[in-house]
Amino acid sequence: MKVVYTAEGTVEGEGRQGKGRSDDGRLNVDLSVPKGMGGDDGPGTNPEQLFAVGYAACFHGALKGAARQDKVELTGTSVTARVDIGKGDDGFGLAVTLDVTVPGLDRAAAEGLVAKAHRNCPYSKATRGNIEVTLNTVTD
């Protein structure tokens, strides 16, 4: 793989209750543990929220790329990622649901673009075979 960009982030303090920042200073966040995981639901964000936003952004870019390749014009698209964290016999794990809104296309065409985006999205590639990812295509 020829690297074209490297993101770097550092967390200090108490891990999930620490502070996170990117090396370029563009991201600087307090972290907190959600109530559902025994925390106080403080003012900070958490790794699952950051992963959800990152995956949604990456997948949306892959969707737009798939549309360009297929010469399909898209407007009003959005991707919402829900990241679940749960505990099983082997410890904590993640699952993701992507709600992909593709207005103005028939269901078959929209699902084709979503499938292509899922094949090409780097986050989808990284999670494939590791966690459950559910795709929901909305065409309203």
pLDDT in tens, 60-99: 999 999 999 999 999 999 999 999 999 989 999 999 999 9
What's the pLDDT at 140? 82
Go through 55-78 and write b for each residue having 16 or more CB atoms within 10 A of its CB, e for each that does not: bbebbbbbbeebbeeeebebeebe
Q: Give the mean pLDDT of 7-18.
A: 93
Cβ-Cβ contacts under 8 Å for 18 (sequence gap 6 or more): 11, 12, 31
Helix 47-69 × helix 107-120 angle, to 10° = 120
User: Given this structure, which CATH class describes domain 1-45?
Assistant: mainly beta
Q: Give the mean pLDDT of 36-65.
A: 94
> Residue 43: pLDDT above 90?
no
The pLDDT > 70 percentage for the chain reads 100
> Residue 30: pLDDT above 80?
yes
> Residue 24: pLDDT above 80?
yes
* Domain spanning 47-138: CATH 3.30.300.20: yes
What's the pLDDT at 40? 85
What gap in Å lies between CA 112 and CA 35, rounded to an integer? 38
What's the pLDDT at 15? 84
* Spans of all domains in the chain: 1-45, 47-138
Residue whose token pair is 């016999």: 89
